[in-house]
Amino acid sequence: MDKKKYKVAIVGCGGIGHAHMEGYNKVEEVEVIACCDPVPSAVEYYKKEFNIPHGFNDIDEMLRVAKPEIISICVWHLLHDEITIKVANYESVKGIICEKPMAIGVEKARSMVNACEENDVKLAISHQRRFTPGWIKAKELVENGEIGIPNRAELRVKDGLLNWGTHSIDGARYILGDPKPVWVVGAVERYTNKYERDTAIEDSCIGLIHFEKDLQFFIQSDLMDNEADAGKFEIYGTEGFLKITETEVKIFNSSSNGWKDVHIDLEDGDVAIGGNTNAAQTRELINWIEGGNKHRGAGDIAAETVEIMMGIYESARQNRLIKFPMQEKGYPLEEMIKEGKLELESKEKYDIRGFLNRENIDEDLYSKLRDDGLSHHEAMKTVHDQN
Ligand X SMILES: NC(=O)c1ccc[n+]([C@@H]2O[C@H](COP(=O)([O-])OP(=O)(O)OC[C@H]3O[C@@H](n4cnc5c(N)ncnc54)[C@H](O)[C@@H]3O)[C@@H](O)[C@H]2O)c1
Binding site for ligand X (CB under 6 A): 11-17, 36-39, 42, 59, 74-77, 79, 99-100, 126, 128, 163, 197, 273, 356, 358, 376
Q: Select 138 or 302, whichever has its Cβ closest to ligand X.
A: 302
User: At residue 197, what is the residue type?
Assistant: R
Least CB distance to ligand X at residue 10 (A): 9
- Closest to ligand X by CB, 171 or 186: 171
**Shortest distance, position 90 Cβ to ligand X, whole Å:** 14
Q: Is the Cβ of residue 99 or residue 154 nearer to ligand X in the bound state?
A: 99
List, as one string, the DSSP characters of 8-21: EEEE--SHHHHHHH
215 vs 273 by CB, closer to ligand X: 273
- 3-class secondary structure, 83: helix
Q: Are 350 and 193 in contact (CB under 8 A)?
A: yes
Smallest gap, in angstroms, from Cβ of residue 100 to ligand X? 5
For the bound state, the minimum distance from the C-beta of residue 185 to ligand X, rounded and expressed in Å, comes to 26
C-beta of 151: minimal distance to ligand X in Å? 28
Indicate the residue among 344 and 356 with the shorter CB distance to ligand X: 356
For residue 47, the minimal CB distance to ligand X (Å) is 13
Q: How far is the CB of 72 from ligand X (least distance, A)?
A: 10
Please name the residue ranges forming H helices in the chain.
15-24, 40-50, 59-66, 80-88, 106-118, 133-143, 166-175, 275-289, 299-318, 332-338, 363-371, 376-385
Nearer to ligand X, 54 or 152 (CB): 54
How far apart (Å, rounded) are the C-alpha atoms in residues 289 and 325?
Answer: 29
**Selection from 49, 19, 41 nearest residue 281 by Cα:** 19
Q: Are 355 and 195 in contact (CB under 8 A)?
A: no
Cα separation, 161 vs 312, in Å, equals 9
Is the CB of residue 382 less than 8 Å from the CB of residue 227? no
Q: Determine the Cα–Cα distance for residues 47 and 21; give it in Å rounded to an integer.
A: 11
Nearer to ligand X, 136 or 141 (CB): 136
Side by side, which strands form the sheet with 181-189?
Answer: 260-261, 249-253, 240-244, 233-237, 150-157, 215-221, 204-211, 181-189, 322-323
Q: Give the residue at shortest CB distance from ligand X.
A: 14
